[in-house]
């Protein structure tokens, strides 16, 4: 606090009131407009509500509404969205080993996407051997990841390593918990090819570390 401010404070009268705190504003009109917005868009938080009110005010030639005021009004009237509970970090330690000593014991699979210059998204699904790290097969599409794409990659990987034959012993097929990997059709097709589907623990990307490392390398280099 500066000396000038201290001098002003000491010279205040006993009936002095802070005008910033004693100011009362009528929020009725703003509250009605907020209710109109969230009535049509109930999942909008105060920031989106404020953005819509600001845009409408500009169109109507009215003064813009402060975001803090919108937050205060919504908080006082219990209109704020409930905060999502924080997800505690997993206490499960990854103590296993993804790599194996011999080829064709465990394969892993994952997917990634690139944004092309024309705005399209290129999505790649691949399979790797967890011993020699060879990219056994991959599929590329501008659509989404689905069960059929994963099945194509499975079949291509088996044909690359075993030709027209099937593995003499099941090969572990390690993936994350994506819906395309957990689909019943995918798991049934995997077993028909001599693969044994295995999913990593939830929120444990390190459990599929070889595939995750491959994705990071591709994105870093290309």
Identify whether residues 33 and 72 lie together within a single domain: yes
- pLDDT score recorded for residue 72: 92
Identify whether residues 121 and 47 lie together within a single domain: no
Q: pLDDT tens per residue, the chain (222 residues)?
A: 677 777 777 777 777 776 665 556 788 999 999 999 999 888 888 988 999 999 898 888 888 888 999 999 999 999 998 876 665 655 555 556 788 999 999 999 999 998 888 888 889 999 999 999 999 999 999 887 889 999 999 999 999 999 989 999 999 999 988 899 999 999 999 999 999 999 887 766 667 888 989 988 888 776
**Residue 55 forms part of a structural domain:** yes
Total tally of structural domains belonging to the chain: 2
- pLDDT score recorded for residue 86: 63
Model's pTM, two decimal places? Answer: 0.56
- pLDDT score recorded for residue 203: 67
CATH classification at residue 132: 3.30.420.10
Are 109 and 128 spatial neighbours (Cβ–Cβ below 8 Å)?
A: yes
Identify whether residues 118 and 74 lie together within a single domain: no
Kindly give the residue spans of alpha helices, DSSP state H, lying in 23-133: 28-40, 46-60, 67-76
| Alpha carbon distance 1, 99 (integer Å) | 63
**Residue 77 forms part of a structural domain:** yes
**Residue 170 forms part of a structural domain:** yes
Identify whether residues 135 and 207 lie together within a single domain: yes
**Residue 5 forms part of a structural domain:** no
Residue finishing a domain among 83, 98, 123: 83
Residue 188's contacts (CB-CB under 8 Å, 6 or more residues apart) are: none
Identify whether residues 110 and 66 lie together within a single domain: no
Identify whether residues 110 and 210 lie together within a single domain: yes
Identify whether residues 113 and 214 lie together within a single domain: yes
Identify whether residues 114 and 79 lie together within a single domain: no
Residue 117's contacts (CB-CB under 8 Å, 6 or more residues apart) are: none
Residue 189's domain comprises: 106-221
**Count of beta carbons in the 10 Å neighbourhood of residue 79:** 19
Identify whether residues 75 and 111 lie together within a single domain: no
Are 37 and 43 spatial neighbours (Cβ–Cβ below 8 Å)?
A: no
Identify whether residues 199 and 121 lie together within a single domain: yes
């Amino acid at each position: 606090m500066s000396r000038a401010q201290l001098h002003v404070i000491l010279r205040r009268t006993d009936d002095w009131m802070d005008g910033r705190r004693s100011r009362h504003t009528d929020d009725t009109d703003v509250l009605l407009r907020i209710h109109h917005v969230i009535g049509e868009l109930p999942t909008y938080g105060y920031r989106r509500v404020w953005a819509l009110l600001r845009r409408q005010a500009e169109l109507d030639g009215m003064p813009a509404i402060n975001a803090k005021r919108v937050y205060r009004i919504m908080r006082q009237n219990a209109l704020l969205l409930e905060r999502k509970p924080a997800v505690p970090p997993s206490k499960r330690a990854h103590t296993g080993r993804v790599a194996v000593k011999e080829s064709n014991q465990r394969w892993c699979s994952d997917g990634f996407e690139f944004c092309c210059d024309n705005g399209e998204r290129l999505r790649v699904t691949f399979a790797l051997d967890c011993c020699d790290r060879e990219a056994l097969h991959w599929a590329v599409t501008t659509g989404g990841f689905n069960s059929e794409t994963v099945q194509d990659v499975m079949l291509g990987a088996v044909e690359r390593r075993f030709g027209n034959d099937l593995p003499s012993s099941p090969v572990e097929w390690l993936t994350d918990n994506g819906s395309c990997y957990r689909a019943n059709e995918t798991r049934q097709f995997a077993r028909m090819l001599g693969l044994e589907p295995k999913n990593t623990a939830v929120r444990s990307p390190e459990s599929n570390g070889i595939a995750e490392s491959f994705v990071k390398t591709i994105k870093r280099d290309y």
